Structure 1
Amino acid sequence: MPEKLPTESSAFHFVFGLKPQNEPLHLMHYLCLRSCRHVHPGSKIHLHYRHLPHGPWWDRIAAELILHQVDEQTPGFDPTRYQDTREGRFIASAGLDYAHEADFIRLRALVDHGGIYADMDTFFVRPYPRTLYQHDCVLGEESPMRDPQTGIQRPSLCNAVIIARPGAKFLSDWLSNAIDTFDGTWSRHSCQAASLLWSRTPASLHVVPWWWFYGFPANRQGITQLFEEDAPLPEGLCSIHLWAHLWWRADRTDFSAFHEGLLNETHIRSAKTTYAKLASQFLEPS
């Protein structure tokens, strides 16, 4: 059996600031890093960035981070491929290409160094079970993805939280596959590729139920439960994924009328909602 990696000495990796930072670091991102620090005391927190964040919330957390500036071009990420598909052209025009570049950065960081990767719209609630660190690679499931060509729903794995040992074979194979299959569509090279690879080499990956890493589903009901209701936490939940890309902009209301402008310090301190009640403990007294 592989040597157990203690939770206290595990390293966390985040990717942020791939585009110029025209706005100060948002409170949600601060609470991601702050909750990670408190829930996993003693862990090293690595931030991989291109453009350094700034602002009052950044000033409160920056000294606790290990900073790594990434290159202007990320190996394997080819933005010209967005022109190959209608979906890719939409993603590029919407400015969401940073998410794909982060896909490649996270895999390479974990292959090289190991540890835990998490998206910056993660909120940490409880430590990940120590037994997970016995595996070479761990992912959480997500809702099935519909194949755009066949219309058939296929199992899917989410890459918003990844636990891995350095050089994990599953991640090395996934990175090679991502370089070959990236075509600008949202998840062919990431979540769908991971699911296909898992079906071929099931022993190389340990998969946990989706609510352990993500808590609430990426739909209107899940976002309502997070930001408008006081919902019970699923048993076994360790972290919550906030699915920020679905509600961040005020002009996007197909999932929620909630948006980043409403998620401020006043809201966190006063709202009696699932996320606000959990997050308020990480704000200093006013």
Structure 2
Amino acid sequence: MPSNFNPIRQGKQQQRLPQYRYRKPARNGNESTMKRRAIIRMCFIAFVCMLLLHQLYLMVEAIIDIPNTTTPEKVVSSNQDISDTVPVEQDVPPEIITALQAKLEPMTQTKIPKIVHFVYGMKDRNPELDLIQYLSIKSAQEVIKPEKILFHYHYLPTGEWFELIRPHLTLRQVDIPTKVFGNRVDHYAHRADVVRLDALKEFGGIYLDLDVIMMKSLDHLLDEEFAMGHEGVGGWSGLCNAVILSRANAPFLQRWYETYKHFDQRRWNHHSVLLPRLLAANFSDEIRQLEYDAFFWPLWDKDGLRQLYLEKSYGFANNLGVHLWDSAANKHLTKDITPQVIQEVDTSINCMLRKYLPNQVEARPGACDIHPYPVGENGQGMYRDGYD
């Protein structure tokens, strides 16, 4: 007998052995049941997640108006009766129905006049015109060579830059539109949207945001009825209202204005960018659509702003002008910009702005040589491959 033999301990082990063997099949059965229950729970959770994701997509789609296709689908031809062409079950946007039913007034001009429009002072009293805004007006004056520059304002700007450009402006004070077709308009940007359309309906001409820098003449577009530029390759982001060319009472302009009967200020860029693109798909014979690099390239994303403000990688070869996306760049890139910064820091945009400064300095040899990124098939540089 082993020296470490313990009959009491050994007896307990012998007693437990049958009990263990007896319970083993039952435990296997429980494991199988637990696995089935776990699988059922996982399937249920996956189903609930799918429902939640679908609801989230619908909510996002309602907020930002995600288009159903890459190109807006034409809903109905403008020369057809809507009752004959649109099935009852088809979901036609109410703005398109309103645009189709608009009672158009005759155009009063045979071409787009060389009148440049700017809108300002819809927000605060005693606003100060900044350097970028001065350069925007100055570039339009020198490049477009307009008959006049109509400066529509509610609060007259102040500051040295305004006093410098003021002799070249025709000042026109306007009321702040707090409503359009009975719909509230609270944000100053939306108010400016309404004022620019009103001005173009009445006078015709070329509207520019105060962060658009002109580079080339627009004379070749003045025979058009109406023109806007794509925002993004293929206009995936819309038609941007930072640059609008229009005859007075152009049909497209009238239809667009009528859609403000459905204006909802909670939909940030719906009426200013997304809706013009949808209208253009349905009234393509009333608008000239310009390529994405006419005015709105580089884009407002981090890579586009880097190309504009921090590098010398973009040469503006195809641009008629460029939108500086001041609302996106203001926090870090344009807030503290000065004439000295423009003169001494060699970037893509600074090299274009120097010629419009009041006191120009002789250019340094090679300072503005562009070093572009390799061009890909679908974009203008390495940051744009795949945007198509």
TM-score under structure 1 length normalisation: 0.81
Q: 2:203 aligns with which of 96, 100, 113?
A: 113
What's the counterpart of residue 273 of structure 1? 347
Q: Which residues of structure 2 form unaligned runs of 5+?
A: 1-108, 361-388
Asked if 1:132 corresponds to 2:237, the answer is: no
2:289 aligns to what? 207
Residue deviations 1:103-135 (CA, integer Å, cap 9, x gap) = 11111111111000010111111112x331111
Partner secondary structure for residue 188 of structure 2: helix
Matches within 5 A, 1:27-42: 27-42=131-146
Paired letter, 2:208 = A
Matches within 5 A, 1:181-220: 181-220=263-302
Aligned runs of 1:31-110 on 2, under 5 Å? 31-76=135-180, 80=184, 97-110=187-200
Residues 308 and 314 in structure 2, CA contact (< 8 A), matched pair in contact too: no
Q: Distance in 2 between matches of 1:54 and 1:77?
A: 32
Matched residue SS, 1:211: coil
Q: Identity over the aligned pairs, expressed in percent?
A: 29
User: What's the counterpart of residue 324 of structure 2?
Assistant: 242
* Matched AA of 1:52: L
Structure 1 residues 106 and 65, CA gap change in structure 2 (3 angstroms): same
Name the SS for the 1:73 alignment partner.
coil
Q: Contact 2:228–2:243 at 8 Å: present in 1 too?
A: yes
Note closer, same or farther for the CA distance 1:271–1:131 as it changes in structure 2 (3 Å cut).
same
Q: 1:235, CA displacement in angstroms?
A: 3.0
Please tell me whether the aligned partners of residues 136 and 211 of structure 2 are also in contact (alpha carbons under 8 angstroms).
yes
Residue 284 (1) aligns with residue 358 (2): yes
One-letter amino acid of the counterpart of residue 219, structure 1: D
Q: Given that residues 126 and 156 in structure 2 are in contact (C-alpha distance below 8 angstroms), is that contact kept between their aligned partners in structure 1?
A: no
Q: Is the 8 A contact 1:74 1:104 kept in 2?
A: no
Partners of 1:183 and 1:26 in 2: CA distance: 27
Kindly report the root-mean-square deviation, in angstroms, between the aligned alpha carbons of the 2 structures: 2.3
CA distance in 2, matches of 1:258, 1:222: 12
CA distance in 2: counterparts of 1:221 and 1:78, whole angstroms: 40
Deviation at 1:35, TM superposition (A): 0.8
My pick for the range that moved more, 113-122 or 18-27, is 18-27
Distance 2:204 2:111 in 1: 13
How many aligned positions are there? 252
Are residue 26 (structure 1) and residue 124 (structure 2) matched? no
Counterpart of 1:72 in structure 2: which amino acid? Answer: I
Return closer, same or farther for 1:259/1:31 CA change in 2, 3 Å cut-off: closer
8 A Cα contact 2:181 2:261, kept in partner: yes
Q: CA deviation at 1:275?
A: 1.4
Query: 1:260 and 1:279 mapped to 2: Cα distance?
Result: 16
User: 1:223: how far off?
Assistant: 0.8
**Equivalent position of 1:148 in the other structure:** none
Structure 2 distance, partners of 1:21, 1:225, is 34
Query: Retained in 1: the 8 A contact 2:294–2:319?
Result: yes
Match of 1:190, SS state, is helix
Question: CA 1:77–1:221 in 2, change beyond 3 Å: closer, same or farther?
Answer: farther
Q: Which residue does 1:254 correspond to in 2?
A: none
Tell me which of the two structures has the higher relative contact order, counting C-alpha pairs closer than 8 angstroms and 6 or more residues apart: 1
Q: Work out whether residues 230 and 296 of structure 2, in 8 Å CA contact, stay in contact via their aligned partners in 1.
A: no
Separation in structure 1 between the aligned mates of residue 183 and residue 130 of structure 2, nearest angstrom: 27
The amino acid of 1:260's aligned partner reads K
- For residues 39 and 279 of structure 1, the distance between their equivalents in structure 2, rounded to whole angstroms, comes to 13
| Alignment partner, residue 84 of structure 2 | none
Q: Distance in 1 between matches of 2:123 and 2:224?
A: 34
Query: Which letter maps to 2:223?
Result: Q
Q: Distance in 2 between matches of 1:65 and 1:209?
A: 30
Q: What SS does structure 2 have at the residue aligned with 1:226? A: helix
Distance in 1 separating the partners of 2:258 and 2:341: 43
**Alignment partner, residue 85 of structure 1:** none
TM-score (normalised: structure 2) = 0.61
Contact 1:178 1:193 in 2 (8 A): no
CA contact (8 A) 1:79 1:184 kept: no
